[in-house]
Structure formats: C-alpha cells, structure tokens
Amino acid sequence: MEQTKIKIEATIAAETSKVWEYYTNPAHITQWNFATNDWLCPTAENDLKPGGKYNARMEAKDGSFGFDFEATYNEVMDQKKLTFTMADGRQVTSDFENLDGTTKITTTFDPENTNDVEMQRSGWQAILDNFKKYTENN
C-alpha cells in the first residue's frame, strides 16, 4: 500500500527572488534550517542543479544528537520548483508561487516509516515556519 505524501506550506511576506535566495543559499540555510531553538544547522552545502547534491548538518545544541540531511536534485526551476531524492529514496517537491509581493512555498514529501505522519508533518512545518520568520526579518 502506497503511503500518502505529506504536505506543508507557508506564505512568506517577501518577493520570490529573495525567498529563493534565502531557501537555497548555504549562508542563509544555516540560519533557519532547524525546527526548534535547541537545534542548529552548523554547515550546509548546496549544488543547485539537476544531479547536484544538497547536504545540511543538523545538531542538538547540547551535542546529544546530530545527523546529515542529504539529497540529490532531480529538477531545479529557478524561483519556481525544486525536486529532490533524499538519501533513503524518498521524494520531495517544493513549489514557489509568486503571489503579488508574497511567496507561497508548498512542499510535499514521502513519509518515512519510523515516526508517525503527524510528527513528520509538524517537524517539517516547524522548519518551514522558521524559514518564514528568518526571511521576513532579515
């Protein structure tokens, strides 16, 4: 039985060009790519092209846990769409929609089998909400 994809979204009060830059530039990724303030993203690499690699290190500030989030881009449409495959084979799509001075990001992704769907949705949504806050305030 195929699992339903998980969907998250946020509307950012910024032009799409800024949203895209903050979403894809490693200097910005390290500033927002965590769900809560007791986590951080010390490093990020992003080769933004089909076949290019994305890697972000995520760590608990207290040093108790950390992991690398790795993916390979399948499709890159400048300021419109990103699709990638995570290291475990799951698929992710992020669409960027220009809404007259604001930008809506909609991300859909395949769930993993360890954590329940709502926990995954809330974790990814928290990261996207952190992105929204960072982008709107910088």
Residues of the chain with pLDDT > 70: what percent? 98
pLDDT of residue 19: 99
Rounded Cα–Cα distance for residues 45 and 57 (Å): 9
Residues 72, 62 contacting (CB under 8 angstroms): no
For residue 3, pLDDT over 80 is answered with no
The b-or-e profile of 119-137 (16+ CB within 10 A means b, else e) is ebbeebbebbebbbebbee
Average pLDDT over residues 14-32: 98
User: Is residue 1 one of the residues assigned to a domain?
Assistant: no
User: Is residue 15 one of the residues assigned to a domain?
Assistant: yes
Average pLDDT over residues 76-92: 98
What is the Cα Rg of the chain in Å? 14
Rounded Cα–Cα distance for residues 114 and 72 (Å): 22
Q: What is the pLDDT of residues 90-110, one digit of tens each?
A: 999 999 999 999 999 999 999
Structurally, how many domains does the chain consist of?
1
Average pLDDT over residues 30-48: 97
User: In this structure, what CATH number is given to the domain that contains residue 18?
Assistant: 3.30.530.20
pLDDT of residue 1: 43
Rounded Cα–Cα distance for residues 95 and 89 (Å): 20
When pLDDT is cut at 50, 70 and 90, the band that residue 57 belongs to is very high
* Domain enclosing residue 94, as ranges: 6-136
Residues 82, 93 contacting (CB under 8 angstroms): yes
User: Is residue 38 one of the residues assigned to a domain?
Assistant: yes
Six token digits for residue 105:
């990001």
For residue 73, pLDDT over 50 is answered with yes
Average pLDDT over residues 39-48: 98
- Residue 131, classed as helix, strand or coil, is helix
Residue with the larger pLDDT of the pair 2 and 93: 93
- Residue 118, classed as helix, strand or coil, is helix
